[in-house]
Structure 1
């Protein structure tokens, strides 16, 4: 539990209400000196007085005391998984109401607020009401801002800042997103070398196991970032067929060399889908179908028992512990039903309208498990 701050709260709430110590003392039935001692921390009010004090300031006793309930990492994971399942089974509005109630209850648990923002960013599109979508994204942005401004944990603030950029992009605010991230993502910043320096420090300290684990995780993360960047590169260069073909050839080789379809099917699925869109722009039906088949295969892996959990393989054999230590653990951030529905919807992209319909329908049936 965080340190209580009753004395500071009494003083701040009294001033906010615009009353003197004498008026407060008269209402509570104590002397002005007693109120003065409460505010300076020299003494504490009797426990029986707390409800009356809280009532006077129109706050809860918890708020008066400065008690902010904090959730454990396991509790945060439980909330997240509970809501991802609920989003696929219950009315969207009902789940959002439950989320908002929890946010109010744990409004000072910053790791929890961050994961709520992640949850909303990954599920806001489930409502077809565009105004509601914008409202949810704005709420997520506000949570990120609160974390950055109020949390004292640097890594949490950095994560919130990056998440805020993702939300801004969804809100159609690219200039604000650039302002938020451009300096932080400067490739010349020393922070970009932190992975290498940490690995060197582990080695120098003789912590070989940690050096191995973190080196593997660093390589793994950079590989996934490479595939993700290449996914965006395909769409940026969508009118340049030679660039598309070269990018697909190179990334396919990386994916195969490091068995990424097994250890991170999600990033590979996104790359295959982007490649299909890029080829469709040039009416390359054979390549489109090939990439969409890969997309469906990878989505089915995501829907499998093994695909639902982050894991390594024979080469990346020391990264499971790092995955397990993540805020959300090894579980997916979306329910399998939502993943399947999203993939089926992706196959209806108008960019594929020139492709023979029977081939698209065949892929949809396979994805639907028919």
Structure 2
């Protein structure tokens, strides 16, 4: 069927096309969207646009990552040459000490000038200095790992009496001033480490002609009369004793007077005898009083002409373990100075 120019619509459509269009309009004329379709479209369109933007951003990030990863891979592949071997050898020599374990070569981009070796040597020196600093806390002559430490390690329990042996006391001969220095040592006899958190106590007990009113005990401080005792700065508030290690508490007997002679008190070199002796006075033999109304206790006479007096220095550990005593002879008046915890040498 031929159609002339007059058979076309103003839109340029033929009569058949217009009939088809009319039929389609009639078919869909009764069609209506479901409820909520418009709301769904309002939500779905922005979400779809957001997903598209995220996809674009992800592609850009992937492109950036690839662009930076490729040069890095090329650099790593080039670093497996002779320069990397020098660095690997340097780190292998420190593998046992572990000072540079897990560190990468600092001079990877250099041309083999050896700059990577300088930091490694510095790390070795720092490690030696740290090791020396750790060892300086122990006393001289103490094997490493076997001496007491002034820093309490976490989780190490306090020492029990069963872990510590009895205190061992000792003293030296009097010096030129008559002072007597000594010490008490307590050793960890168990197979486990433990912590000592206090020095205990030291007491002085007069014996014989020693005057109880002139005998005392005091903690050692800087500048006191016991100049031969260690400086108080060397004392520790607490010590960790490993098996076989020991701690010391040192003391010094510093006399203030010598023991009296049978003729009188050294503090009164020219005693005045009683001009009117009483008939009730006790008889004396060899210058030694045997009692009577005077109330003076009998005193023994030694060969050198002085009365016999001594001081018993007793140490009681804070842990409750067995203590010890040291007797200082020819001691009638003075003070016992004693230290805190000292790491055993």
Give TM class, smaller chain. under 0.3
The structure showing larger relative contact order (alpha-carbon pairs under 8 Å, at least 6 residues apart) is 2
Choose between structure 1 and 2: higher strand proportion: 2
Choose between structure 1 and 2: higher helix proportion: 1
Structure having the higher Rg:
2
TM-score of the pair, normalised by structure 2? 0.20
